[in-house]
Amino acid sequence: MFGSNLKLGVTFLKRKQTIHRHHHQHRRKKIWKYLIGFLILFFAFDAFAVYKLYHDARQAADSTYQGVKHKSTRNGNAVIQQKKPFSLLIMGTDTGEYGRTYRGRTDTIMVAVVNPVTKTTTLASIPRDTKVAIPGHGFDNKINAAYSYGGTSLAMNTVQSYLGIPIDHYIEMNMKGLVQLSAAVGPVTVNNDLDFTNLGYHFKKGKVTINKDNVLAYTRMRYQDPRGDYGRQLRQRLVITELVKKGMKINNLLKYRSILDAISSNMRTDLTFDQMKILATDYRKAGTIKQLQLQGNGQQIGGVDYEVVPQANLDQLTQKLKNALEIK
């Protein structure tokens, strides 16, 4: 009788273990089912987010595109397709803020050379009062007047002729765009070399935070700076450099949307969406930035204040840009 009870006990335990094992396996299957379902939803959402970002980026690129005909010395599109160093004229116009709606002049003029091989971007500032010859408007002109005379095309032709290098593409942004871009990217820190107050904002010497509220006060001040417009150009290069660096690191889709909105509303360029895709993949490592400044001397000619650049200074800058472009 004892043996019979022992057999019944063993049989019961085995059956209980089997039921428990089946129940455990069933529960594991349910967990895997939920996990797989979650992953499917996650990747579906992720794919949608990527598509949405791609779609929004294309829309923003299409809205900012504005082709221009200028006397280019080479095919700028072919240069980018071949992943060679290219030049970009960056113009900041004095419109879009303070109630200004007219075309105005180019308050900021920079030439950037992006070299994917050396992974370097060379950023050169040109004083807006630089004395130059403008086709159809004589020899005694300020370089920033080219834009007001003939828009982007004449500005590109004038800078190209003056520097003696090919200008492949351009980007034009107004002051409001700088404010909105700063709002989208967020605060950046720059190393400020001058203690000053402008438009109610104080900037101490040393590291200062630049944001959407004070970016114009910081980048547009020149009268308190003993270097005049050269000091302002330095601050503009500092802020633009930090905004670009931080913008490239952002991986938040909502911030991308804000950046795209800021760009599409206030920027114009002849870079197409396909070209931008190449820049994003093959040129993005050109993050080492070399800053250059075209230096001149203030002179009054015919009652007008100009910045007259010695030929030796111009030749030196031209050679550095040619080296960056890897051309003779």
CA distance readout (Å), 253 to 13, 146, 181, 241: 57, 38, 15, 22
pLDDT digit string, tens, across residues 170-189: 999 888 888 888 988 899 99
Output 297 or 98, whichever has higher pLDDT. 297
pLDDT digit string, tens, across residues 35-93: 655 555 545 544 444 555 565 667 777 778 899 988 888 999 999 999 999 999 999 88
- Bridge pairing between strands 201-203 and 206-210: unpaired
- pLDDT for 48 equals 46
Say how far apart CA 314 and CA 193 lie, in whole Å.
Answer: 26
What pLDDT band is residue 156 in, cutting at 50, 70 and 90? very high
The mean per-residue pLDDT over the stretch 246-253 comes to: 67
- pLDDT for 49 equals 47
Count of other CB atoms within 10 angstroms of residue 197 = 12
In the three-class reduction of DSSP (H, G, I as helix; E, B as strand; rest coil), residue 115 is classed as strand
- pLDDT for 23 equals 52
Output 199 or 250, whichever has higher pLDDT. 199
- pLDDT for 120 equals 93
Neighbouring-strand partners of residue 280:
none
- Provide the Cα torsion 154, 159, 165, 170; round to 10°: -70
- Bridge pairing between strands 304-308 and 297-301: antiparallel
- pLDDT for 24 equals 52
